[in-house]
């Protein structure tokens, strides 16, 4: 690991913008509409009560008054009046992420305790990162996950779906009090458990092991051979939960990204699978615009906003039939 290495991307992935806003006790001043928050700007404190806008799905913020915006690092940097790097260090410490290397206690100990926000040579973030090329298989499995735990009721999954994915309520450890969902690599090896919050307002919504590199995986990819034979549409959800939601209504040919973004590895995996399927259906909101644009270069896309009652009857006839046939497992 490089001297003074700060993994900006991992810090960004580990902490939600909502958690940051909560830490500053700003959430009560904002109005929530779906995945968006709006309210007075914490920086310019302008006259309009809605100029500060937050997109929780993208963990992005923008103020129409002071024209400032960005991600959690930009927010903390502006709020604390520090560099992006110092903002990342603060987040690492506040949220006990343990992502910043601490292996050299003496070396380049902060010779410049007061960092200058203006001339931050580390920006742009992520420029120096050398990402890993694979997630090593886990050496353990969580054996005590409870698929029937009462607090899972709010998630609305049937026991069949939960068991199908080997998921369950986690009572201890890093994912304590969360819904643990196993994640496998393309070969079907277990590489991580994701912890989905069971309460709607909890943040972060997903918790991943700090060393897990989500851009290298596509949820459910290893199961593709199982359902490719059917040849119907391939569904893609922006977050892993989507695969379970789809299974819940009998759609098994489904993959998911992690936060709506699409890495080159993920792009290759999704596009590589496409010839086996009739078409690609993007399911749900929360895809980054870039993700949609990149997929659209390779495939004609269908987009479905959700699995609501209004949507299901509007499925194309061919699919409706398939939907009826596949149904929920007993």
Strands (E), 98-171: 168-170
User: Is 44 or 97 the residue whose CB approaches Zn ion more closely?
Assistant: 44
- For Zn ion, the binding residues in 47-106 under the rule CB under 5 A are 63, 65-66
Three-state SS letters, 19-53: HHHHHCCCHHHCEEECCEEEECCCCCCCCCCCCEE
44 vs 190 by CB, closer to Zn ion: 44
Helices 72-80 and 84-94, packing angle to 10 deg: 100
Stretch that binds Zn ion, among 42-50, 104-112, 189-197, 282-290 (CB under 5 A): 42-50
Q: How far is the CB of 198 from Zn ion (least distance, A)?
A: 34
Q: In terms of CB distance, is 17 or 152 closer to Zn ion?
A: 17
Nearest to 303 by CA among 324, 323, 287, 282: 282
Q: Which stretch binds Zn ion (CB under 5 A): 33-41, 102-110, 194-202, 204-212?
A: 33-41
Q: Does 38 bind Zn ion (CB under 5 A)?
A: no
Determine the Cα angle at 246 with ends 150 and 199, to 5°: 35
End-to-end CA distance of the chain, in Å? 50
41 binds Zn ion (CB under 5 A): yes
Tokens representing residue 202 in the block: 């909890």
Asked whether position 43 contacts Zn ion by CB under 5 A, the answer is yes
Smallest gap from residue 40 Cβ to Zn ion (A): 8
Residue identified by tokens 């900006």 is 8
> Closest distance between Zn ion and the C-beta of residue 38, in Å?
12
CB of 13 or CB of 78, closer to Zn ion: 78
Closest of 197, 192, 4, 187 to residue 108, by C-alpha: 4
Residue 240 as a binder of Zn ion (CB under 5 A): the answer is: no
Q: By CB under 5 A, which span of 40-48, 179-187, 227-235, 271-279 interacts with Zn ion? A: 40-48
Q: Which parts of this chain interact with Zn ion (CB under 5 A)?
A: 41, 43-44, 63, 65-66
């Amino acid at each position: 690991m490089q001297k003074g290495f700060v993994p900006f991307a991992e810090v960004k992935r580990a902490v939600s913008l909502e958690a940051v806003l909560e830490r500053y006790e700003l959430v009560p001043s904002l109005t929530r509409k779906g995945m968006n928050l709006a309210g007075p700007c914490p920086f310019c404190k302008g006259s309009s009560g809605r100029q500060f806008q937050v997109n929780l799905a993208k963990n992005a913020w923008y103020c129409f008054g002071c024209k400032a915006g960005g991600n959690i690092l930009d927010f903390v940097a502006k709020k604390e009046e520090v560099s992006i790097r110092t903002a990342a260090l603060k987040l690492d410490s506040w949220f006990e992420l343990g992502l910043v290397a601490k292996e050299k206690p003496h070396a380049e100990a902060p010779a410049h305790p007061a960092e200058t926000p203006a001339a931050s040579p580390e920006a742009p973030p992520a420029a120096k990162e050398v990402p890993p090329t694979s997630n090593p298989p886990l050496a353990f499995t969580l054996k005590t996950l409870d698929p029937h735990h009462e607090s899972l009721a709010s998630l609305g999954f049937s026991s069949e779906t939960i068991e199908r994915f080997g998921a369950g309520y986690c009572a201890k450890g890093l994912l304590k009090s969360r819904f643990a969902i196993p994640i496998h690599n393309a070969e079907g090896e277990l590489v991580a458990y994701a912890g989905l919050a069971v309460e709607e307002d909890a943040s972060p919504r997903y918790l991943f092991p700090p060393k897990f590199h989500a851009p290298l995986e596509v949820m459910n990819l290893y199961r593709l051979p199982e359902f490719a034979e059917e040849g119907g549409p391939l569904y893609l959800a922006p977050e892993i939960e989507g695969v379970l939601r789809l299974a819940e209504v009998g759609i098994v040919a489904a993959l998911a990204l992690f936060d709506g973004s699409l890495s080159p590895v993920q792009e290759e995996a999704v596009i590589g699978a496409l010839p086996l399927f009739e078409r690609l259906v993007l399911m749900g909101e929360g895809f980054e615009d870039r993700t949609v644009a990149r997929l659209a270069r390779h495939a004609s896309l269908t987009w479905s906003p959700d699995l609501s009652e209004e949507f299901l009857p509007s499925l194309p006839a061919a699919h409706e039939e398939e939907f009826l046939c596949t149904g929920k497992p007993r």
